[in-house]
A and B are shown apart, each in its own frame.
Chain A
Amino acid sequence: MSHEAAAEGRERAEEDAAAREDARPVPFRGGGFTHRRLGPVAPIVFLAIIALWEVGSRTGVISPVALPAPSEALGALADLVATGMLWKHVGASLYRLSLGWVLGSLLGISAGLMIGLFSLARAGLLPLVSALFPIPKIALLPLFIIWFGIGEGSKVATILFGTFFPTVIATYGGVDNVDRNLIRMGQSFGLSWLSIVRKIIIPGAMPAILSGFRISASIAIVLLVAAEMIGAETGIGAYILMAGALFALDQLIAGVALLSTLGLAIAWLIGRTERALLAWRA
């Protein structure tokens, strides 16, 4: 460093010292836009809405003809428990839901893997999937009734078809997104085709498959209720339909609450599965 530069540096240091008189903190501007975990907020909001609703009904602000009080819906639910019909309805629904969803998912994953792995399957099946996916499966219910009978068959088939297509699309999308370098690595170590599929492609597609499950499970519940509204004596959908026909609004609300609980339970289960299978991501 030259003398001049040194002198200049000293001068600047002196200036710095002088400036320190009116020094003030740099204002913080980096806050917001991030989320904190607020555990108790959800139940508080939920309970507050129920409480407001109950108060509204008791004071007459909400007419009982338009909307029954939560306590009445709870009463209807208690009746269901007391008569033992609760398990009959929920059990029938769960049976159809799980059978249809499991079969639809298994078939969907297989078809999705085929489309993801084989060019022939992609060329042949993908246009078919794109053509059939947007059809509301409930519109096909009469067909399913003819093919599979008015009983359990048509209901399970509706749910099966409803879950099949989103699972296919999630699975083949997941396969397409598996890191090509990992596949090349497997090939470079001489892994067999089956090993590459089992140990690299399927685990790599798992995140996409599991987010597909979230969507297909919701679709399955919607279809379940719709299917149970035709020719079913038991099931949550049938219960809601019956309640609606009799304008027993308390029972209707109770049925809807059951559905909502079912949806929450399934979302929780999928969340647990995700945490177990995708622990490596975190």
Chain B
Amino acid sequence: MQLILRGISHRYGGTNVLEDISFAVGDGEIVCIVGPSGCGKSTLLRIAGGLERPDEGEVLVAGKAPDGSLNPLTYIFQDFALLPWRTVAGNVSLVLEDHGIEAKKRRAIIEDVLSRTNLSDFSRALPRQLSGGMKQRVAIARALAVKPAIMLMDEPLSALDSQTRELLMDDLVALWQRERFSACYVTHNLAEAVRLGRRIVVLSRRPGRIREVVEIDMPLTERPERLVELEKLQRQVWKIMREEAREADREISDVA
């Protein structure tokens, strides 16, 4: 399934947040969106999944969702968004309960996604008992349960420490190898962007416009071995962003 954004512009009050953004996420493609803080990355992602209405432009999906997909556009949130009063299994169950799936089949789906994310032993744990990395794994399991066609990831690793981030990144790559989902991945971390992205959309500071799109034609599995090339790409992206980031930083300090 493809996700197409066409001429998205958005304003909050009087300030333009996004201006004329157009790009597409192809089948099985991971598109990373990077940009300085406050450039409207997260707003763009919320618009992409229909959680917010853009002032101008439209978001389209093309192609068929895979069989049995309950929620084609599925989010992974930075703060995990787990219900603290539900167990791990209960949190996964939440997103299945509205679809009239019989209890037996629902339990089977929950068991399956928990084992795919190595969480089987934690199914009865409450979120507060889990580390940040485990919580995000639960959120990933929950997303997998609805068989998404396109994952919308809003800085999914940003709340984690760097070691956990590495581990989870490997998990994400392995997962993508198996499921080949399309994804729109918002991050401010350029290392993540060059590790995961087929394309990197670089946004300017507010109002967010597309500065450049960097294509990375290197299979995900080869990337850990070709770090030197990635490093080069990362520097290239940083060069594009550097001035923007500096200006954005100043803007914020002016306001505060």
A78 part of interface (Cβ distance < 8 Å): no
- Contact indicator B51/A203 (Cβ below 8 Å): no
Q: How many residues of B contact A (CB 8 A)?
A: 23
Contacts of A188 in B (CB 8 A): 49, 51, 71, 73-75
Contacts of B79 in A (CB 8 A): 181
Contacts of B83 in A (CB 8 A): 182, 199-200, 203
Q: How many residues of A contact B (CB 8 A)?
A: 19
Q: When each residue 63-97 of chain B gets 1 if its CB lies under 8 Å from chain A and 0 otherwise, what string results?
A: 00000001101110101010111100000001101
Q: Return B152 CB to nearest CB of chain A, in Å.
A: 8
What are 15 residue pairs bridging A and B, where the CB atoms are less than 8 Å apart in the complex?
Answer: A179-B81, A182-B81, A184-B51, A184-B81, A185-B81, A187-B51, A188-B71, A191-B95, A191-B98, A195-B98, A199-B94, A200-B83, A203-B83, A280-B86, A282-B128
CB contact list, A247-282 vs B, under 8 A: 280-282
**C-alpha gap A188/B153 in the complex (Å):** 12
- Return the 8 tightest CB-CB contacts between A and B, nearest first: A185-B81, A280-B85, A189-B95, A188-B75, A203-B85, A181-B81, A190-B71, A195-B98
**C-alpha gap A189/B83 in the complex (Å):** 13
Classify the interface of chain A: helix, strand, loop or mixed.
helix
What is B's interface to A at a CB cutoff of 8 Å? 46, 49, 51, 70-71, 73-75, 77, 79, 81, 83-86, 94-95, 97-98, 126, 128, 142, 146
**C-alpha gap A195/B83 in the complex (Å):** 13
Classify the interface of chain B: helix, strand, loop or mixed.
loop
Look across to chain A and name the residue whose beta carbon is closest to the beta carbon of B73.
Answer: A188
A192 part of interface (Cβ distance < 8 Å): yes
Look across to chain B and name the residue whose beta carbon is closest to the beta carbon of A186.
Answer: B94
Contacts of A195 in B (CB 8 A): 97-98
**C-alpha gap A280/B85 in the complex (Å):** 5
Look across to chain A and name the residue whose beta carbon is closest to the beta carbon of B85.
Answer: A280
**C-alpha gap A106/B33 in the complex (Å):** 48
Look across to chain B and name the residue whose beta carbon is closest to the beta carbon of A183.
Answer: B81
Look across to chain B and name the residue whose beta carbon is closest to the beta carbon of A200.
Answer: B83
Look across to chain A and name the residue whose beta carbon is closest to the beta carbon of B96.
Answer: A189
Q: Return B155 CB to nearest CB of chain A, in Å.
A: 13
Using known A-B contacts A185-B75, A280-B126, determine if residue A190 contacts B85 with beta carbons closer than 8 Å: no
Besides A184-B81, A281-B84, 11 other A-B contacts (C-beta < 8 A): A179-B81, A182-B81, A184-B46, A184-B51, A185-B81, A188-B51, A189-B146, A191-B98, A199-B97, A203-B83, A203-B85
Pick from A179, A182, A189, A282 the residue with the most CB of B within 10 Å.
A189
Q: Return A63 CB to nearest CB of chain B, in Å.
A: 56
Q: Return B228 CB to nearest CB of chain A, in Å.
A: 29
Contacts of A281 in B (CB 8 A): 84, 128
CB contact list, A189-223 vs B, under 8 A: 189-192, 195, 199-200, 203
Pick from A182, A185, A191 the residue with the most CB of B within 10 Å.
A185
- Contact indicator A181/B128 (Cβ below 8 Å): no
Contacts of A190 in B (CB 8 A): 70-71, 98
**C-alpha gap A187/B95 in the complex (Å):** 10
Query: Looking at the complex, which one of A189, A191, A280 makes contact with B128 (CB distance below 8 Å)?
Result: A280
